Chain A
Amino acid sequence: GQQLNQSPQSMFIQEGEDVSMNCTSSSIFNTWLWYKQDPGEGPVLLIALYKAGELTSNGRLTAQFGITRKDSFLNISASIPSDVGIYFCAGQRTSGTYKYIFGTGTRLKVLA
């Protein structure tokens, strides 16, 4: 099945550093979602993006809907240990197709 390309697959960073990850596709998307999944839990929605070029923040998290509509980016500023987890992107190709396609995830580990 189709999945979005998400990179990096995993990363170790020092506490306090900024983090960037992205999601790309060959298809155009109308909606992008970013989720975080803690160990043993379900994915939790962080940010939703509905318009090309849109930049949306949620605390230390900022996500952008790429201008080409084929990519999206998530940045975490000043990382803290509780940022550890797996971050997933999800894209919806058209408004009439309500299903989402998910990225393979970026596993983030923060070193105190």
Chain B
Amino acid sequence: DAGITQSPRHKVTETGTPVTLRCHQTENHRYMYWYRQDPGHGLRLIHYSYGVKDTDKGEVSDGYSVSRSKTEDFLLTLESATSSQTSVYFCASQGDGETQYFGPGTRLLVL
């Protein structure tokens, strides 16, 4: 499996505060993704990146932004957290072998 880490692993925050989640991979993978996982919805793509500074929106991007200044790091920011953004967030990376590897997840609770 690819070396993918996420930080923090757990976070509790209040509505209206900004939150940044970090994904770090050590495999030099070109593609990186942020998903959220909610009961009954499976994995839904928030944003993805196809290279440094190259990002695009997924199916549930409203309220989220991303940045990728280095190959190994992909940041997800909730500009002003809402209770509907309480979820488990997964980062994934993918190299030219086309298989996608996931991080351990971040549990976010917005009060």
Taking beta carbons and an 8 Å cutoff, which residues of A are in contact with B?
1, 3, 31, 33, 35, 40-45, 48, 50, 88, 90, 92, 95, 98-100, 102-105
Contact = CB atoms under 8 A, between A and B. Distances in A.
Interface residues of B, number: 23
Nearest to B50: A98
- Name the residue in A40, A42, A45, A104 with the highest tally of chain B Cβ atoms < 10 Å from its Cβ: A42
B111 interface: no
Nearest to B9: A40
Contacts, number: 49
Given A1-B59, A98-B31, A98-B50, A45 B99 contact: yes
18 contacts: A1-B45, A1-B58, A1-B59, A1-B60, A35-B102, A41-B105, A42-B90, A42-B105, A43-B90, A44-B1, A45-B1, A48-B99, A98-B94, A99-B33, A102-B42, A102-B43, A104-B41, A104-B42
Contact of B104 (A31, A42, A45, A90): A42
A45 B31 contact: no
Contacts of A95: 98
Contacts of A92: 98
A44 B99 CA distance: 11
Nearest to A50: B98
A38 B60 CA distance: 24
B34 interface: no
Contacts of B41: 104
Contacts of B1: 44-45
Interface string B74-111: 00000000000000001000100011111111000000
Nearest to B33: A99
Contacts of B103: 42
Contacts of A1: 44-45, 58-60
Contacts of B31: 98
A71 B31 CA distance: 25
